[in-house]
Amino acid sequence: MMDALGEPQGVLVLGGSSEIAIATVLALPRGRLRRVVLAGRPSPALDEAVATLNKAMIPGVEVMDFDASDTSQHADVVDRAFDGGDIDVALLAFGLLGDQAAAEADPDAAVEVATVNYTGAVSVGLRVAARLRQQGHGTLVVLSSVAGDRARRSNFVYGSTKAGLDAFAQGLGDALHGTGARVLIVRPGFVRTKMTTGLDEAPMTIDPQDVAKIIVTALRKGKETVYAPGPLRFVMAGLKSVPRPLFRKLPL
């Protein structure tokens, strides 16, 4: 249960090795934490995430096999996570950036990005929402992206999956209104993680710890949508109103 000071006891991470998610777990108030479930594909990165949490003395770390693109196993993973105790915060953090040129050359690669980022999220998101709603409390944090605010020539495959995910999360949040369960949509800009290693940094680039802080504050205040960093909200509002002939020519 979340307590009066906003301290959670049960946390679920979908995409257990996500650097943003692990930074968020570390930034949550930890005085009352007793169970953190990392659901992800077995990998050295996932082992490292477990080690990081253990080193930080986070109690009750559990690992569950979870592949976003294998929707047939989602029901089972979600049930096991929730049957082990109430989940106060669920982070939907998995995602694939993919390579735009590769995706254009090989549509199967684009399909994989779409399957993980959108189809997988819809599948597991609805199941998590149903369980949160059944327990009458808890927040699903959805890692969307500013890339979904407006599709760009340079990464519209990824951007379109995030646009879909974002619209899905908005509708889900509205559906859950009044049920005690909630959805928090997070729209980061460029964050330094293994997803963006080797890419040129964009203006307003931040670290996973910065996103984590924004998420924790938003959870405490019961926000529905946040940008990371916050001022990106205004940048994106501006970009969204740029006419397409001009937008096309912007170096984005």
Partner 1 sequence: MSTMTSPLERLPGERTLTGWGRTAPSTAVVRAAMSVDDIRASITSAGGRGILARGLGRSYGDAAQSGGATVLDLSAMDRIELDVAAGTATVGAGVSLDAVMRALIPHGWFVPVTPGTRMVTVGGAIAADVHGKNHHRDGTFGSHVQSMTLVDGRGEVRVLDQVSTPTEFWATVGGMGLTGVITEATFDLIPITSSRISVDTVRTRDLDHVMDLMLSGDDAYRYSVAWVDSVHPSGRGVLTRGDHAGAERLTGAAAQDPLAFDPKVLASAPPLIPNGLVNPLTMRAFNEAWFRKAPKQRDGELQHIAEFFHPLDIVQDWNRAYGPQGFLQYQFAVPDAAGQLVGEALAALRGVGALSALTVLKRFGAANPGPLSFPQPGWTLAVDVPAGVDGLGPVLDRLDEQVLAAGGRLYLAKDSRMSPAMMAASYPRLAEWQRQRDAMDPDGVFTSDLARRLSL
Active site residues: 158
Closest to partner 1 by CB, 139 or 161: 139
As a whole number of angstroms, the distance between CA 148 and CA 132 comes to: 26
**Crossing angle for the helix pair 44-55 and 19-27, to the nearest 10 degrees:** 10
Q: Could you tell me the smallest distance in angstroms from the CB atom of residue 131 to partner 1? A: 9
Choose among partner 1, ligand NAP, none what residue 130 binds, the Cβ cut-off being 5 to 8 Å by kind.
partner 1
- Number of other residues whose CB lies within 10 A of the CB of residue 174: 11
Span of 3-11, 51-59, 69-77, 156-164 interacting with partner 1 by CB under 8 A: 3-11
User: Is the CB of residue 59 less than 8 Å from the CB of residue 10?
Assistant: no
- Number of other residues whose CB lies within 10 A of the CB of residue 107: 11
**Crossing angle for the helix pair 121-135 and 156-176, to the nearest 10 degrees:** 20
- The answer to whether residue 194 forms part of the interface with ligand NAP (CB under 6 A) is yes
- The answer to whether residue 185 forms part of the interface with partner 1 (CB under 8 A) is no
| Phi and psi at residue 183, to the nearest 5° | -125, 130
Q: Which of 36, 64, 77, 143 binds ligand NAP (CB under 6 A)?
A: 143
- The answer to whether residue 93 forms part of the interface with ligand NAP (CB under 6 A) is yes
Span of 3-11, 26-34, 186-194, 213-221 interacting with ligand NAP by CB under 6 A: 186-194
* Joined tokens for residue 111: 């399909």
Q: Which of 55, 72, 108, 178 binds partner 1 (CB under 8 A)?
A: 178
Span of 18-26, 28-36, 57-65, 100-108 interacting with ligand NAP by CB under 6 A: 18-26
Q: Could you tell me the smallest distance in angstroms from the CB atom of residue 122 to partner 1? A: 13
Half-sphere exposure of 124 (CA within 13 A, CB side): 36
Report the alpha-carbon angle 107-159-72, nearest 5: 65
Span of 48-56, 135-143, 196-204, 233-241 interacting with partner 1 by CB under 8 A: 135-143
- The answer to whether residue 225 forms part of the interface with ligand NAP (CB under 6 A) is no
- The answer to whether residue 230 forms part of the interface with partner 1 (CB under 8 A) is no
What are residue 143's DSSP bridge partners? 186
Choose among partner 1, ligand NAP, none what residue 93 binds, the Cβ cut-off being 5 to 8 Å by kind.
ligand NAP
As a whole number of angstroms, the distance between CA 90 and CA 184 comes to: 10
